[in-house]
Amino acid sequence: MSILVGKHTRLVVQGITGREGAFHTKQMIDYGTPVVGGVTPGKGGEWAFGNVPVFDTVRDAVSATGANTSIIFVPARFAADAIIEAADAGIDLVVCITEGIPVMDMVQVRAFLDSTHTRLIGPNCPGLITPDEAKVGIIPGHIMTQGNVGLVSRSGHAHLRSGLCADRRGIGQTTAVGIGGDPINGTSFLDVLQMFEQDPETEQVILIGEIGGTDEQKAAEYIANKMTKPVTGFIAGQTAPPGRRMGHAGAIISGGEGTAAEKIAALTQAGAKVARHPDEIADLVASNLH
């Protein structure tokens, strides 16, 4: 079993004819993801990759193909409108890869999404993958194998590194989710932990956080009080000085909050094993198997 994406996914790509959209659409198709259509305003009626129809609007794409998932590869100044368009068209899951979306634009997006059933992953994220079923995003498919470990991460680099190390140890994933590290995003650690907790095939979870904000502390509270499955954690940015942004816009220690030490302490107190560096994650996960 998987969460969020799998064999049921019917994907439409917003920005399919752009350079990034075209490149990653080809990777997703080659992986086996059912890409049923693309959207580029003004190019409706054209075809991409020989057999993928292009539409002017997401609503047209949904009507013609039954798409239930969208991925967004459009410039930051258009991305907020693209998310809202997908939700307004009834898409169940929207994955926004775009980085640099203004915070105030995302405030409006969140307010709109709260009135719909649509779930947003991202923005500024690598997407997600259910190995051997569907890849929706830019995560390299070859570093993830099918297994029983759920993976959720804010840090794209640590996400990829931990996935590669796990693969080398023969540890596979049910689904790997990159939620992104912007100050305002669509899906939190807490949301994904709840889904993994309810998934019968996910036997343990890897949680990769980073400095900034308090999402990891909220996740730790859930782990302590509700989670029945082992959790292995890692916090990126442990050497970052206060006030210095590290990578994501949300990865900044401000007002003395959001430090790596606080997050590590919270996860440890919740009963999670916390790795000192990404390469140790697979070792800790493997120790839970014995």
The phi and psi torsions of 146 (rounded to 5 degrees) equal -70, 135
Residue reference for tokens 């949680």? 207
For position 255, what pLDDT does the model report?
44
For position 155, what pLDDT does the model report?
74
Is residue 2 within 8 Å of 148, Cβ to Cβ? no
**Residue 1 pLDDT exceeds 90:** no
Is residue 151 within 8 Å of 177, Cβ to Cβ? yes
Is residue 121 within 8 Å of 152, Cβ to Cβ? no
The pLDDT tens digits of the residues spanning 78-123 come to 999 999 999 999 999 999 999 999 999 999 999 999 999 999 999 9
Strands (E), the chain: 11-14, 35-39, 47-48, 52-55, 69-72, 93-96, 119-121, 127-130, 134-137, 146-153, 173-178, 204-210, 231-236, 273-274
**Residue 59 pLDDT exceeds 70:** yes
Residue among 155, 245, 270, 257 nearest 213 (CA): 257
Per the annotation, the verdict on 290 as an active-site residue is: no
For position 279, what pLDDT does the model report?
84
| Mean pLDDT of the 124-148 span | 94
| Domains by residue range for the chain, with CATH | 11-121 (3.40.50.720), 140-287 (3.40.50.261)
Lowest model confidence (mean pLDDT) among 8-12, 87-91, 100-104, 158-162: 158-162
Residue 284 pLDDT level (bands cut at 50, 70, 90): very high
Cis? peptide before 123, omega within 30° of 0: yes
Residue 54 pLDDT level (bands cut at 50, 70, 90): very high
Q: Which position among 8, 248, 277, 290 bears the catalytic label?
A: 248
Whole-model pTM: value is 0.92
Q: In what order do the strands lie in the sheet with 93-96?
A: 47-48, 52-55, 35-39, 11-14, 69-72, 93-96, 119-121
* Distance from C-alpha of 170 to C-alpha of 178, rounded to nearest angstrom: 21
The pLDDT tens digits of the residues spanning 179-210 come to 998 989 999 999 999 999 999 999 999 999 98
The pLDDT tens digits of the residues spanning 167-178 come to 677 889 999 999
Count of residues in the chain:
290
For position 230, what pLDDT does the model report?
97
For position 202, what pLDDT does the model report?
97
For position 258, what pLDDT does the model report?
75
The pLDDT tens digits of the residues spanning 249-277 come to 444 444 456 788 899 999 999 999 999 88
